[in-house]
Structure 1
Amino acid sequence: MNRTLVECARCMMEHAGLGKSYWGEAVMTAMFLRNRCPTRAIHQDKSPYQVWTMKKPILANLKVFGCHAYVQVPQDKRAKFDSKSSLCRFLGYAEHQKSYRFEEVSTGAIKISRDATFMEDKFDEGPRNYNDESSVVEFDDHDEDEEKRRR
């Protein structure tokens, strides 16, 4: 299980363009996701979360790790002309409440909130377009030096 979580966390950090300092958040999010997926270890075609709580997990609340989100600033913490939201980075799910964990991009402060608008295609280095042809890398099937050596 350790290898599974580490590989999942590594992929999530790579996809989001985040450094190794986010490994803890990535592993916790990987564990959260893994516990909501069916597993062969439980022979009832259920997830560990479902066996533990006797409820089906709500998958509609899942978001892309590391994506940007605008988190609402509570009314009592802002002045009349202050911004109503702040740009944050999604880091995972809160442990003991139905909320998300965010890191504010400008200050690095950790926030826990349910009130957010997610931009699941935007990350620190810009939006991701997986249908863009410029992201396709083609490799040669053979090496020219190797061909010369064979002759």
Structure 2
Amino acid sequence: MSLRIENGLEFYKASFDNFCKTEGTVRHHTVRRTPQQSGVAKHMNQTLVEHAQCMRLSANLSEQFLVEVVSTTCYLTKKSSSTVIDYKTPQEVWYGKPSENAGLRMFRCYAYTRVNDGKLERR
């Protein structure tokens, strides 16, 4: 096992590489501070923000909810099938079992709380 030290942090490169190989994960290395090489991550971030903006605007939410909407968009992306992985979900590929989508709800659906202010009062 080789030990590499960068900025005071220790990385066990060989053991991590072996772990990735046994799990079937392909690693792609890039040079630091080269945005030209980070195209996949940059594209995914742009896609998430664009989808989140569409969801936010269609739900008539203010910009203060953008973080929550991006989080929801990321969650939905992981639950959605992809042509790249034979129409399976990333979760299905990672865990080896179908993704449970029973808990999905419509974005910006109305929620009600139970208030006991009397039988004839608004709830």
TM range (shorter): 0.5 to 0.7
Unmatched runs of 5 consecutive residues or more in structure 1: 74-80, 88-151
Length-normalised TM-score, structure 1: 0.44
Distance 1:54 1:2 in 2: 26
2:112 matched to which residue of 1? 70
Q: Alpha-carbon deviations, 1:86-124, whole Å to 9, x = none?
A: x8xxxxxxxxxxxxxxxxxxxxxxxxxxxxxxxxxxxxx
Distance 2:112 2:54 in 1: 24
Distance 1:51 1:82 in 2: 49
The yes-or-no answer on 1:25 pairing with 2:68 is yes
Tell me by how many angstroms 1:9 deviates. Answer: 0.5
> What pairs up with 1:1-150 in 2 under 5 angstroms?
1-42=44-85, 44-71=86-113, 81-82=116-117
Residue type of the alignment partner of 1:7: E
Q: Alpha-carbon deviations, 1:16-56, whole Å to 9, x = none?
A: 110111111001100111111111332x3211011122221
Unmatched runs of 5 consecutive residues or more in structure 2: 1-43
Higher strand content, 1 or 2: 1
CA RMSD of aligned residues (A): 2.2
Higher helix content, 1 or 2: 2
1:68 to 1:54, Cα distance in 2 relative to 1, 3 A: same
Length-normalised TM-score, structure 2: 0.53
Tell me by how many angstroms 1:8 deviates. Answer: 0.9
Distance 2:61 2:87 in 1: 34
| Greater RCO structure (CA 8 Å; 6+ sep) | 1
Tell me by how many angstroms 1:57 deviates. Answer: 1.7
Q: Alignment length, in residue pairs?
A: 76
Distance 1:34 1:67 in 2: 19
Tell me by how many angstroms 1:69 deviates. Answer: 1.1
